[in-house]
Structure 1
């Protein structure tokens, strides 16, 4: 059969990571390729108790249709946590529950982006955002990342010359680089975007996963009218429940709700009820502290082994949270070749080129530390070190 597919789907890239994960599911493979939360840190018993309570006490309502915006007590919890963590004044009416934070990107693209509109994104940028926004056929413009956040001079130039509809970024433990914006850069980005009256889509999927104990203010705090934040329960409760949210001015939420109604009416209501019950009856901060302690230990171990074993020509970022370390290989080395050689030895990494919509990045790679135990990290890094040394000969 010859099918007449739309131009938008033909121009939308596949999720490279999902394709790679298909070949890394064998139990003998040490996978640093995905972005999976550690399954041992999911509170199965706590979630099970919450599910049982919801079903037994209010099953008829929890299993029924619900509102597009989402379960009000859950939105109230999110708004209250923004106030407590960030001193960010947000009303529940400014929050809409989504099917994971990935759906946020699709909904934002639907209501803002026309064919050919300019969109600014970090370089390297989150491949899930590149894929989601590509459906709406924008013209992407990249803002290079520095050690403390975006190159603001480049951002100013893009804003003055291309007039992008929005700037999408991940200020906390950026995916893929692991970089966290400094407070100074957050203020500077907000000032630049406010002056240009440009939307900032602030992906905060990793905001709770930080190792220093210092909570950085969201950029949205400095640009309430032009700031859109997205959040996720995937990293701190359960990825399989697919629960995220958008936080934005009410006028934007109204358009998001209309767009969502056309897609799925509302997010999984049972999952919303279970998560709200879980959050209300458990100590979320203690649970997150446990996650951060484990992730910091795994990250520190991986960095230590890289410094000891990798050739000195290979550099890496030093994350302050999140789930990823970003490798930069010397000129002439290919992360695609590294992936191929490593897979022959049952170790998987994620080549960097899918994070560059405009090409490049083949000398970079993303390494995940959250989903591997210490023994696997030691063995996997030793294997990667051997391959890199061999390639440099």
Structure 2
């Protein structure tokens, strides 16, 4: 038997993904899961992939199967530079670093930037995968207050004045888990704040292309380019199994990210990068993206309509202009982990919101719902079930509160 002292101390900060553990529980046939955060298989451009695979073999031949540059496959970096230009981001191919999924960038940033005890500022709630990437490097988290429009610039400014923060992490477009989008006025304020404080911002943008309404808002990278690491992925608009992420970082950060990546995987799959290069440069993304949006838009609408119909009046939720998630707030004190166990027994599931907070115990009355993996009729049925579960949970919760109040009153009377 191997002893536990064989393991590095940092492993005490590593744990299984709460969401992946929930997905294991709800994977049985017949369960309607609103817990995952994954693209619908119907969104994958299967016919296009078949076509571009042949094109890659003809264009690159054995080069597509050879070792490559750590920084990334040059044709893909060229294609990404053109793609970023459509978002207003000016970059040369040499400035772009390809990663194995955007998660690879987040782990790399943790590795090169965080020493034990360093402070990292982030939204409350925030993306669980970022917490998993950063936590093994032992940071102290500074949670920045948010409202229905995302991070509050005044709260960020106050936190930076009070603490020495190594970097800020933010998902400004259709945030995971809330679906919120930071408006332009706040982006301008955040850009001014990070430049004034000389602070680095990690702008994670995996969902920005999944817009169902409203207009494109400029990335913060365009407003303060030397203070922002822009991170994104093709997982939501191409194929997640290819694990194709990338970032655009200030020179110093990019240099060290390259060195960190060399120690992890040398480089991302050359063949997969070649497929992505052909997908972008051939104009396939531009033609396929509207099909993805037309798949998800009615699903989101069906969920929102069903929530209005079936959820208790004491619940509130976001109404995003895009992305993959809706965030729900229940009455204070209601334990959504316990409620989810009941929901699973009834054949549906969600993710309790507490997992998206850096500080344990917060957000117990919140939850995240995903709508990309089920059709409209199935989503409506799942929301109806959840409405019944929530009504029952509220009844029990209110009885418990009433009993506690009566007990407290009796004690007061005896005193």
**TM above 0.5:** yes
Match of 2:19 in 1: 17
Equivalent residue runs for 1:210-225 within 5 Å: 210-225=211-226
Match of 1:275 in 2: 276
Pairing partner for 1:71 from 70, 73, 87: 73
Match of 1:365 in 2: 367
List per-residue Cα deviations over 1:130-188 (Å, max 9, x = no partner): 11001111111101211222122221121111111100000000000000000000000
Match of 1:298 in 2: 299
Q: Distance in 1 between matches of 2:162 and 2:236?
A: 37
Equivalent residue runs for 1:274-353 within 5 Å: 274-353=275-354
Moved over 4 A (4+): none
Deviates more, 1:228-237 or 1:353-362: 353-362
Counterpart contact for 1:115–1:138, Cα < 8 Å: yes
Q: Distance in 2 between matches of 1:204 and 1:316?
A: 22
Q: Which runs of 5+ in 1 are unaligned?
A: none
Q: Distance in 1 between matches of 2:146 and 2:37?
A: 20
Counterpart contact for 2:353–2:364, Cα < 8 Å: yes
Match of 1:123 in 2: 124
The reply on whether 1:89 has 2:54 as its aligned counterpart is no
List per-residue Cα deviations over 1:361-388 (Å, max 9, x = no partner): 1100000001111121011001000111
Match of 1:33 in 2: 35
The alignment covers a number of residue pairs equal to: 392
Q: Distance in 1 between matches of 2:329 and 2:356?
A: 13
Q: How well do the aligned residues superpose, as a CA RMSD in angstroms?
A: 1.2
The reply on whether 1:390 has 2:399 as its aligned counterpart is no
The reply on whether 1:188 has 2:189 as its aligned counterpart is yes
Match of 1:259 in 2: 260
Give 1 or 2 for the bigger CA radius of gyration: 2
Counterpart contact for 1:93–1:250, Cα < 8 Å: no
Q: Distance in 1 between matches of 2:228 and 2:177?
A: 22
Counterpart contact for 2:119–2:142, Cα < 8 Å: yes
Q: Distance in 2 between matches of 1:380 and 1:372?
A: 10
Q: Distance in 2 between matches of 1:336 and 1:257?
A: 40
Q: Counterpart of 2:115 in 1: which secondary structure?
A: coil
Pairing partner for 1:48 from 47, 50, 53: 50
Q: CA deviation at 1:274?
A: 1.1
Normalised by the size of structure 2, how large is the TM-score? 0.92
Q: CA deviation at 1:351?
A: 0.6
Equivalent residue runs for 1:235-246 within 5 Å: 235-246=236-247
Q: CA deviation at 1:118?
A: 0.6
Q: Counting helix residues as a fraction of each chain, which structure ranks higher?
A: 2
Normalised by the size of structure 1, how large is the TM-score? 0.97
Q: Which runs of 5+ in 2 are unaligned?
A: 396-415
